[in-house]
Chains A and B, each alone.
Chain A
Amino acid sequence: MISITGNFRPTMRFLFLCLIGVCALLSGQFDSLAAPVNFDQPVVVALDADLSAVAAEGGEALRRGIEIALAEINAQGGLLGRKVILTVSDHRGNPARGAKHVEALAENNNLLAIFGGAHTPVILAQLPLLHRHNILMMDPWAAGTSVTQNGYLPNNIFRVSFNDKQVCQELIGSAKKQGIKRVALVLERTAWGRSNYQSLVEHAQQNDINIVSTQWINWRQKQFATEINHIEQKQAQGIILVANAPESVVVSNAVLNTQNPTLPILSHNGLAGGNFARELGMEKLRQLNITVIQSFHFLRQRNPASLRLLKGYQDLYGPIDKTAIPAVVGLAHAYDAMHLLAAAVKQSHSLETDAVRQALENLNPVQGAVKNYAPPFTTNNHEAFAVDDYFMTSFNNDGYLVPLAHK
C-alpha cells in the first residue's frame, strides 16, 4: 500500500482531474471516429459449440474452462479495464447452424473472439465467414488439419488443441509400440475423418505398418457388423478409431461381438467429447481393450496453472474428484486458450482483430495448464501443441480416462 501524505494531495488531485479530462477527450474522439465501441459495455467472447448433440460433455467442459479463466481475468480487472463476458451458442454439430451463429455474432460490436467447439466440419463451414467478417477464432477442440491450414492469409484461426497430423503420428507410434503390423482404420465420414485418413496413411507408410482395411462410419449409423466382418477377414491386429462418442459405442459393440473382443482400439479424442463410458456401459467397457489419446490430465500436469484450474473448477462446480472431471482436455484447452487470448490483448493493448492476431503470433511465453507455451504461435504456425504434448490414456474402473502410467 502507498500512503499519501497531506503534502502530495493537491498535486494528485490535479493529476487525477487532468487524467479524467484526457479520457473524456479521447472517448469523445473514439465516438467521432464512428467506432461504436462503448467502454461501459463488457467485452464479449463467444463459445459456439456442440452443447447438446453428440459432444455435449465436451461442449460443457469448454464453457467451464472459459468461465474459470474469465473469473481469473475479471478478478484482475478484466481486459483493458473492461469486464469480459461469455455468450454461448449451441450448433449441435450442424455446420449450417455454426455458419448461422457466426453471422449473428458478427453483428456484435463488443465481440473479441469466438471459441469453436467440437466437430471439424462445423469450423470448416464457419471459416469463410470468419474471414469475411474478420473475426478471430480460438479452437480448443476440433482437430481437423485443414482448420488451421486453411489457405487464408492472414489466418484468423488459432488452435489450442489436437492436430490430426500430430495425433495420427502419436496413434501410429502407439500402435507400433504395441507391435501392431496390420491395422484397420474406422473413420467418421466427414471432413474430420478424411483429414485423419491422409495423415494416417502417411505415418503408417513411414512406420512400416500395413493398413489392411479402411471403414467409414456415418453419423448416427447404428450397425457396424458388415464393416467389422471385413476388418476381421483382413486379420487386422488393431483398430484406429476416429469418431464421436455415439459412433464409437457402435464400433465398440461390434468389436465385442467378434471372436476377438480384446482387439486393441486406439482412439482419437473424439469419443471423449460425449459420455462414451455411460453409453457403452461399464461391464462392456471393462472387456474392451481401448486406449485414447489425450493432451491433459490433472494426474499428469501439475503446474501452477493446472492447480489454479482445478481449484477454480472445484470452487465453481463443487468438490469433484480430479480424475472424474468429464472431457477434461476441453476444460484445459479452453482455459489455456482464453488466457492466451487475454495475454495477446494485454500485449497489444488493443481489442482489434488485427492487433490481437499479430500479438498472438508474437506472444511472450505463457505458462498454461497443459504446457508452457513458449511461444504458443508464430505467423506460420497456428498450432499451440506439438506431437510431444500427447499421451495415451485408458479407462479406469469408474469409467474415467487416466494416463496409462496411472491406471
Chain B
Amino acid sequence: MNTRPTLYQQLQRHIVPRLLISLFIVGALLCSTIFYFAQKQITSEQQKFTEYLKADLQYSLENTQQLMQGIASNDLLINSFIDVQQRKNYLPVFFQSLKFTRTEQFSLGLFQFDGTPIISKNWQGVVPETFSHAWQYTTLQRTEPYRQVTNEGVLIAVPVIIANQAEGALVLFLPSMQDFINTRDNDAFQFIVSNSDTILYSSHPDKFAPGSTYVHHDFMGWVTKRQSWLGLSLVSQAPLFRAFNNVLWLIPAILMTLGSAILVSIYTSNQAARLSASTLQSLHDAIRRSTTKKTATSSDAPANEPQELFAIRADFDSLIQNLMSMSLSNKQFANVIDSLEEVLVVVDENNNKLMINRTFSEYATEFEITDSELLSIRTKLESGIDHLERHYLAKPIALPITIRWTMLPLTDDTRKQLGTILVGNDTTQKKSLENRINVISHAMKSATVALLIADAQADGYPAIYVNPHFTTVTGYAENRVLGQPNLFLQGMKTPEDKLVEVNAALSSGSPFTDTILCYRQNNVPFYNQVILTPVFTDKILTHFVVFFQDVTEQEQTQQFLEDAKQRAEESARLKSGFLASMSHEVRTPLHGVSGALQLVNKTAMTKEQLRYVNLAKDSLRNLQHIVDDILDFSKIEAGQLGMEKIAYDLPLLIQTIYEQNSITCQQKGLSLLLETNFQPHTLVIGDPVRLRQILGNLLSNAVKFTEKGTITMKMTLLRSRNSNWILKGSVEDTGIGIGAENLDSIFEVFRQEDISTTRRFGGTGLGLSISRQLCRLLGGDLSAASEKGKGSQFIFTMTLGHMNAMASTSQEVDQPNPQYRPISTAKVLIVEDNEINQLIAREHLSQHKTMTTRHGKEALEALNRMKLTFDMILMDCHMPEMDGFETTKRIRNGEAGDKYKHVPIIALTANAMKGDREQCYCAGMDDYISKPFTAKELLDTVAKYMH
C-alpha cells in the first residue's frame, strides 16, 4: 500500500504537464485572436475611409452643381440670351467673376441652345475633346444637369432654363480633383486612382503626388480597401504593422498572466490534495466505527494520507449496497398491492396465505371471509369455471355485497406453480345499476307515448331507440326506424318547412315542440305533437329524447272552431250587406209614397182628407227616419260610411239647428237653451251633415224623454295640439234619466233603457249607437251621464280641421240658395222605369215640358228620333235593358247625335251608398239627386242647369 504515490504527487504528475500545454495553446489563441480582430478593425476603418472619400467627392460635385444652377437661373445671365446686342456690356464682367472651387485651374463656358459658345473662360485647348460634346444631349435636349468624372478631369454642366426648357448651358471643367475634394483628417492614405493607375487624388500629396502612377508593390503588406465608382477606384490603405502597434503591449501582459496561472495551479493542487486526503481519512474512520458499532457515528479529525481513499470507497460501497438493496423494492411492492381496489390473496398449495392486501384484510374482517371460504372458492374455480360470484352478509348493519372471484396461478421462473392468486371484485353497485336500468327500460317499453332517442353526437342524429308504442302510433317497426336520421320525420313525410325547423333545433341543441302533420306507414295522416328534449351529460349534448303524440283529434276540433268563427263573421257581414240593400230597396217604394202624397197635397181636399194626408206624411217621415238609421247603421257595420271634409260656418250651423229644434221644444212646452263658446275663427273643416245628424239625434232624444223643464245645448271649440280643433258639445235635459246600470248599454244596438221604454217612446234604438259611431268616425266620442228621474247629459267630441283665413276668402262656404230668375220652360227627358217615379217627376216638373222613356234604349231612340232638342236629361241609374251609366256613356260618345254630347245629365237614384256619386260622375253625368227628393230639390237642380 505504501508504495503508492501520495495524492499530491499524483496530482502534480498529472496536472502540471497538461496545464502547461493548455496554457500555451490558450496564449497562442489569444494572440492570434487579438491580431485577427485588430486587422479586421483596420480593414473596416479603411472601408469607412473609402466611403467618406466617396461621400466627399459626391458632396463636392453636388455642391458645385447647385452653385452653378443658382448662377444659371440668375436673371441677368438669362437676360443675356435675349439681349444679344448689349450683353457684351455686362456679361463678360459677370462671367469672369464666377468661381466655383478653391482652385484657380478651371474652365467655364456659357453655351447657346445648339452648343455654340456665347462666352468662355480658359476653355479652348484646355478642355479635352472627350468632354466637349458629351454633356450637350443631357443638358440642352433633356434640360437636365450633367456630371462626368474621368481620369482627365471633372465636368459639370447645368441648363439655363427659360419657360421650362433649356435655352443654353453653363459648363464647368476641372482638370484635377485634388483641389476639388475637402480632405478629412486621418492617418491612413486615400487615393482616387484611374483605371490606368494614375493617381487623380491623394490625401498625402507630399508622398504620393497626384498625376503619378499608383504602383501596387509599393503597398505590399498594407491593409487596402478599394471601391469602384464611375470607373475610378477609391482607395484607402494603411501599413499592416499598424495592426500590431495597437496590440504589442498586450503580449508581455499575456505572458505574465500565463506564468501566474502555472504557479497558482501548482499551489492549488497541493492544497487540494492535502485537504481531500485528510477528509477521506476521517470518512473511513467514521464508517469503520459505524460498522463495528452498528450505529451511525460522525467522522473525526481529518487525516492526510491518500491510501485510505481506496479503503473508504470500498467500505462505503459495501455499506450502501447492504443497506439499500433490501428495503426499497419491498416497500413499493406492498404499497402497490395495498392500493388495489380488488381483493387480492395469494395462497400456496397448502392453502397458507402467502400475501394479502389491505382490501382483503378489510373485507375479511367485515364480511368474515375465512380460510375455508377461500379454499371453497379455490376448489370451485379449479374445477374449470371462469369466475364465481359469492354473496356476503355484513356483520353489523351494512348492506350485503357480491364479490366476483377469479383465479390466477402463481409460478416461479421455471413456470413451476408455487400457489394461487385469488382476485375478488366487489360487483354490488354494478348489479344494482343493472336492476335500475331494467325497470326504466320496462317503463319505456310499456309507455303509451311514442318515444324515440337519437344520438346527438353522430352525423344526422340517427335514432338509436324507439319504444313499442312508437310502432303503434306510426306503424313503422323498430328495425325500420333505428339508424334513420332526423328523428325519422322524413320517413313520415313531414312537410319540408317543418323539417327545416326541426333540423335547426337539432343542430342548435335546443328544445322544440310543435304539432306536425305526418303520415303513418299505411299512409293515413295524423297530427303528431313532437316534443324534443336535448340530453346533456357533463355539459356535452349527447342525446335527444323525442316524444311523439297523436293529437289528430285535438287539431280537428281546433280547425272546426276556427271554421265556425269565420262562418259567423261572414254571416255578420252578409247581414249588414243585406240590411243596406234592403233599406235601399225600401226607399224606392217610400219615394213613391212620398211623391204620391205630395201630389195629393196639391189637389183640393176636405179638411178631413187633409188631416189624413198629413198623418200619412208624418208616418212616412218617421218611416224614412227609421230606414235612414238602418241604412247608416249597416253602412257603419259594413265599413262603408265615409266622412266628408268640407268647410262650413260652425256657429251658423249650430244656430240653425237650435232654431229648428226650439220650435219642436216650444210645441212640447219645453225651453231649449244654447250656450256657445267659439273662437274668433268660425270656419272649420268637417262633415256638417253628420254633426247635424248627431245633434238632431241627441236633441230629439232629449225632447222625447223630457216631459217638462229645460234642454240645454252647450258648444265649445277647443284648440287641439296638432293644429286641429276639437268641438265639445253637450245636450242636457231634465227628463226621466237613465239608471246607472243601463248607462253603458244604451249605446248598444236596438237598445233603449228597457222594453217598456220602447213601448212608451217608440224609435229604432239605433240613434245613440249610430251617433256614437259617427262621433268616433269624426275623431271623437259620445258618452252619457245621468241620474234616474232627474235628467241626462250626453257629451260628445269631434275633431274639426283648421280653416285658415286666407283660404276661407276664396272658399265658398255654406253657399246660400241661388236666387233663380223666373225660369223659362225647359225641355226635359226623364228616363225612369218605375211608373210612380215617372209620375212624380213629371208632376213636379209640370211647369216644364217633359217626356218619359222607360230605359236607356228608348231614351237613345227618342233622342235620335225627336226633332225638338232636350235641354237636359234626368237619368235613373238602375233600369232594365240598358242602365243609366251605359246610356250616359253612349250619349257622351255621340250615339244620340253630336248635339247631345254635352247635354246636362242628372242622375236620379235611390242608391245612397258611398261611391254612387263618383260612379255617376265617372259615367259622364253632371249632377246627382238622391231619392226620395222633394219638388224643390228637383226644381232647383233643373233651374241650375238651365243656364
Contacts and interface: CB of A to CB of B under 8 A. Distances in A.
Contact of B79 (A54, A56, A218, A222): A218
A220 B84 contact: no
Nearest to A125: B84
Interface stretch (B161-169, B385-393, B491-499, B690-698): B161-169
A190 interface: yes
B292 interface: no
A333 B889 CA distance: 79
A125 B112 CA distance: 14
A96 B114 contact: yes
A59 B791 CA distance: 108
A52 interface: yes
Contacts of B116: 96
A124 B84 contact: yes
B83 A121 contact: yes
A94 B161 CA distance: 11
B163 A94 contact: no
B603 interface: no
B75 A97 contact: no
A175 to B, nearest CB: 26
B817 interface: no
A220 B113 contact: no
A94 B165 CA distance: 11
B82 A121 contact: yes
B78 A218 contact: yes
A54 B75 CA distance: 14
B75 A96 contact: no
B113 A54 contact: no
Interface residues of A, number: 24
B86 interface: yes
Interface in A168-199: 189-191, 194
A219 B113 contact: no
Contact of B162 (A100, A125, A219, A222): A219
A379 B79 CA distance: 35
B98 to A, nearest CB: 17
Contact of B85 (A56, A92, A124): A124
Contact of A219 (B82, B84, B85): B82
Contact of A93 (B76, B114, B162): B162
Contacts of A194: 86
B76 to A, nearest CB: 5
B383 to A, nearest CB: 123
Contact of A96 (B76, B79, B113): B113
A53 B85 contact: no
Given A53-B163, A100-B114, A220-B162, A93 B82 contact: yes
Given A53-B162, A100-B114, A191 B85 contact: yes
Contacts of A95: 81-82, 84
Contacts of A219: 75, 78-79, 81-83, 162
A191 B75 CA distance: 16
A94 B84 CA distance: 9
A372 interface: no
Nearest to A93: B82
Nearest to A55: B163
A94 B162 contact: yes
A221 B112 CA distance: 20
Interface string B116-154: 100000000000000000000000000000000000000
A220 B86 contact: no
Contact of B81 (A52, A56, A94, A221): A94
A54 B163 contact: yes
A338 B162 CA distance: 30
A189 B83 contact: yes
B78 to A, nearest CB: 5
Nearest to A191: B85
Given A93-B82, A121-B82, A124-B85, A222 B75 contact: yes
Of listed B73, B81, B82, B165, residue having the most chain A CB within 10 A:
B82
Give the interface SS of chain A, mostly helix, strand, loop or mixed. Answer: loop
A175 B272 CA distance: 120
Nearest to B116: A96
A119 interface: yes
A54 B165 CA distance: 12
Contacts of A96: 81, 84, 112-114, 116, 167
Contacts of B84: 95-96, 121, 124-125, 191
Interface string B143-186: 00000000000000000001101010000000000000000000
A219 B76 CA distance: 8
A124 B87 CA distance: 14
A95 B85 CA distance: 10
Given A96-B112, A218-B75, A222-B75, A121 B85 contact: yes
Nearest to A222: B75
B411 to A, nearest CB: 116
Contacts of A125: 84
B113 A94 contact: yes
Contacts of A53: 162-163, 165
B282 to A, nearest CB: 103
Contacts of B79: 189-190, 218-221
Given A219-B78, A222-B75, A191 B83 contact: yes
Contacts of A220: 73, 75, 78-79, 162
Contact of A92 (B73, B75, B114, B163): B163
A189 B79 CA distance: 7
B101 to A, nearest CB: 27
A194 B84 CA distance: 13
A404 B757 CA distance: 104
Nearest to A194: B86
A28 B162 CA distance: 50
A97 B83 contact: no
A241 to B, nearest CB: 17
Interface in A66-113: 92-97, 100
Nearest to A122: B82
Contacts of B81: 94-96, 219
Of listed B73, B78, B162, residue having the most chain A CB within 10 A:
B162
A220 to B, nearest CB: 5
Contacts of A190: 79, 82-83, 85-86
Nearest to A146: B85
A52 B113 contact: no
A53 B162 CA distance: 7
Contacts of B165: 52-53, 92
Interface string A39-74: 000000000000011101000000000000000000
Interface in B681-735: none
A398 B5 CA distance: 121
A92 B76 CA distance: 18
Contacts of A100: 114
Contacts of A218: 75-76, 78-79
Interface in A184-234: 189-191, 194, 218-222
A363 to B, nearest CB: 32
A105 to B, nearest CB: 16
B170 to A, nearest CB: 14
A322 B83 CA distance: 36
Contacts of B83: 121, 189-191, 219
Interface of A: 52-54, 56, 92-97, 100, 119, 121, 124-125, 189-191, 194, 218-222
Q: Which 6 A-B pairs have the closest CB atoms?
A: A218-B79, A53-B163, A218-B75, A221-B75, A190-B83, A220-B78
Given A54-B162, A124-B85, A191-B83, 19 more contacts: A54-B163, A92-B163, A92-B165, A92-B167, A93-B163, A94-B82, A94-B167, A96-B116, A96-B167, A100-B114, A121-B83, A121-B84, A121-B85, A124-B84, A189-B79, A190-B79, A191-B84, A191-B86, A220-B79
22 contacts: A52-B165, A53-B165, A54-B162, A54-B163, A93-B163, A96-B81, A96-B112, A96-B113, A96-B167, A100-B114, A121-B82, A121-B85, A125-B84, A190-B83, A190-B85, A191-B84, A191-B86, A219-B79, A219-B82, A219-B162, A220-B75, A220-B162
